[in-house]
């Protein structure tokens, strides 16, 4: 496009406004953290921009222990906070791994309230007891796995887990049964990057003509070497039945520097996307921003590298208390994602994962938020709020619950296209329930009764709503 092709409208009169002008503070989504903000963290005071942008430096300097955390944060946090972290990490099912990027955007003046700290660094005083209905691998990914690391739940799509490591570890990981190092609390199922295991997965995918859509997750595709991205991508593209694939990575949200300085990795992804385009197949990147604070000038530049190469990015968010459960926080996230050209795809109700009840919210909160958010951005930038119902029903739109009792916090979903004639139950965190509901969960003899009420109620509603 040349400048001369732009229409000069400076002499046109501005029409009389109908809508009130938007106050500048309502455009906060465009104000991205920039400059050398990391230097205010004592451990990074001497780190220049080139170093901070170096993805290898980011990986090597990630914080993996309470001791390292203290070295980096120094006097920005209190002794009481450090003690709280030490105890929190001892109890957590996930090992700790936090990139310097995340460390630099945590609000160390208010670490308890900080949406980034809450996701990655456990503190003992916030922990709450697990829900009685919670179990490791609540999504039953292992039950639907014909071979280790491949989950085939839906008809035409499968989830491939080529490895079990990530650039960071999230406290709330749904796959805490496999991801990360063994901890004091959990011995993990190993999913090492292993070509023999991958070959078995590819053979299964090739043997099922109905499989068109492959999610490559993990672990995290950020930790796949460039050559592995190419091998996995090209192998899947070579299968005639595979029409769509997505590389899933939390990377852009937790270490956008890799998109800026790991040229080999971005080039490998680009090659796969271009080969897909040549074959008429769809290859995308899926990422996982949970809070608008995670989107900085580095995220914008990193995503722009992908946009320039025609690589589309979608986002999946987990709804979390104190992270994104207010209308302001979620709207800001959705608008900021749109601003950097990332499509907000899903917001998930938090899975029932051990030791993160402090992060879960009620279904009512999710339903309310959905209404607040819808209409604030384009439809394709507006996430669908879903509940990945425990037991393997897959993702259901939260408003489609067949039953919801706000006192007991039990909701029920059906998934006719996935597992017909079954009911799937989700449970609000007990601390969010009214006193009556909390009392019933405190009494073990009430548990079966609450489940039976939900079952009977759901069946009646399904009958009543049948078209
Ligand atoms: C989420 C998921 C998929 C992909 O589902 P979409 O709704 O298409 O994003 C596929 N397989 C499993 C097991 C999943 O959990
Ligand atoms: S990046 Fe994803 S797979 Fe890895 S720990 Fe976080 S939530 Fe789990």
- Kindly report, residue by residue over 180-215, the tens digit of the pLDDT: 767 767 676 777 778 899 999 999 999 999 999 999
Lookup: tokens for 152: 């085939």
Q: What is the mean pLDDT of residues 335-361?
A: 96
Q: Which CATH superfamily is domain 142-399 in?
A: Aldolase class I (3.20.20.70)
Residue boundaries of the structural domains of the chain? 37-126, 142-399, 401-467
Identify the residue whose C-alpha is closest to ligand 2 atom 3. 219
**Residue minimizing CA distance to atom 12 of ligand 1:** 159
**Which ligand has an atom closest to residue 143 CA?**
1
Greater model confidence, 35 or 20: 35
The beta strands (E) that lie in 259-402 are given as 282-287, 313-318, 342-348, 384-389, 394-397
Tell me which residue has tokens 């601390």.
Answer: 431
Interstrand relation of 394-397 and 403-405 (parallel, antiparallel or unpaired): unpaired
Q: How far apart are CA 411 and CA 446, in angstroms?
A: 16
Provide φ and ψ at 82, rounded to 5°.
-60, -40
Q: pTM value?
A: 0.95
For a mutational test of ligand 2's pocket, the pick from 121, 179, 350, i.e. the residue with the most ligand atoms closer than 8 A to its C-beta, is 179
Confidence at residue 197, expressed as pLDDT on a 0 to 100 scale: 92
CB atoms within 10 A of CB 333: 27
pLDDT at 257 over 60: yes
Please count the other Cβ atoms lying within 10 Å of the Cβ belonging to residue 388.
21
Ligand 1: does its nearest atom lie under 6 Å from the Cβ of 154? yes
How confident is the model over 62-76, as a mean pLDDT?
96
Please tell me the residue having the least CA distance from ligand 1 atom 6. Answer: 395
pLDDT of residue 3: 65
Give the tokens for residue 436. Answer: 């009556």
The CA 331 to ligand 1 mean position distance, Å, reads 24
Q: pLDDT digit string (tens) for 139-176?
A: 777 788 999 999 999 989 999 999 988 999 999 988 87
The 8 Å CB, 24+ separation contacts for 455-459 are 455/412, 455/423, 457/403, 457/405, 457/412, 458/402, 458/403, 458/412, 458/414, 458/423, 459/423
pLDDT digits (tens, 9 = 90+) for 400-449: 999 999 999 999 999 999 999 999 999 999 999 999 999 999 999 999 99
Ligand 1: which atom is nearest the Cα of residue 316?
A: 9
Rg (CA), the chain: 23
| Residue 394 CA to ligand 1 centre (angstroms) | 7
């Amino acid at each position: 496009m040349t400048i001369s092709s732009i229409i000069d409208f400076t002499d046109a009169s501005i029409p009389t406004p109908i809508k009130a002008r938007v106050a500048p503070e309502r455009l906060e989504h465009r104000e991205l953290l920039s400059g050398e903000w990391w230097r205010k963290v004592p451990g990074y005071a001497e780190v220049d921009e080139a170093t901070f942008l170096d993805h290898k430096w980011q990986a090597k300097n990630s914080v993996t222990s309470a001791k390292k955390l203290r070295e980096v944060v120094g006097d920005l946090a209190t002794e009481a906070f450090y003690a709280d972290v030490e105890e929190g990490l001892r109890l957590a099912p996930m090992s700790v791994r936090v990139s310097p990027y995340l460390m630099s955007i945590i609000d160390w003046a208010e670490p308890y309230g900080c949406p980034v700290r809450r996701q990655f660094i456990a503190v003992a005083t916030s922990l709450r007891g697990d829900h009685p209905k919670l179990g490791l691998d609540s999504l039953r990914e292992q039950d639907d796995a014909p071979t280790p690391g491949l989950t085939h739940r839906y008809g035409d799509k499968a989830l491939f887990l080529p490895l079990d490591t990530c650039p960071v570890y999230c406290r709330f990981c749904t796959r805490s049964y496999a991801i990360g190092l063994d901890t004091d609390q959990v011995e993990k199922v190993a999913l090492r990057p292993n070509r023999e295991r991958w070959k078995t997965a590819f053979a299964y995918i090739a043997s099922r003509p109905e499989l068109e859509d492959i999610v490559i997750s993990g672990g995290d595709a950020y930790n796949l070497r460039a050559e592995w991205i190419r091998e996995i991508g090209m192998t899947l593209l070579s299968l005639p039945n595979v029409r769509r694939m997505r590389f899933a990575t939390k990377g852009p949200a937790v270490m956008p520097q890799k998109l800026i300085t790991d040229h080999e990795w971005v080039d490998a992804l680009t090659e796969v996307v271009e080969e897909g385009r040549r074959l008429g197949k769809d290859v995308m990147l899926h990422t996982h921003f949970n809070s608008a604070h995670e989107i900085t000038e580095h995220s914008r530049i990193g995503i722009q590298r992908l946009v320039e190469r025609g690589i589309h990015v979608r986002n999946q968010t987990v709804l979390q208390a104190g992270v994104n459960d207010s209308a302001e926080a979620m709207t800001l996230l959705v608008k900021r994602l749109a601003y950097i050209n990332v499509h907000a795809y899903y917001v998930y109700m938090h899975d029932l994962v051990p030791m993160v009840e402090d992060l879960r919210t009620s279904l009512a909160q999710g339903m309310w938020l959905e209404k607040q958010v819808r209409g604030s951005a384009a439809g394709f930038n507006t996430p669908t709020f879903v509940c990945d119902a425990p037991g393997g029903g897959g993702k259901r739109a939260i408003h489609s619950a067949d039953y919801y009792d706000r006192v007991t916090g039990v909701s029920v979903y059906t998934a006719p296209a996935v597992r017909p004639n079954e009911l799937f139950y989700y449970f609000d965190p007990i601390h969010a329930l009214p006193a009556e509901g909390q009392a019933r969960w405190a009494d073990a003899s009430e548990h079966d009764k609450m489940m039976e009420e939900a079952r009977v109620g759901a069946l009646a509603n399904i009958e009543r709503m049948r078209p």
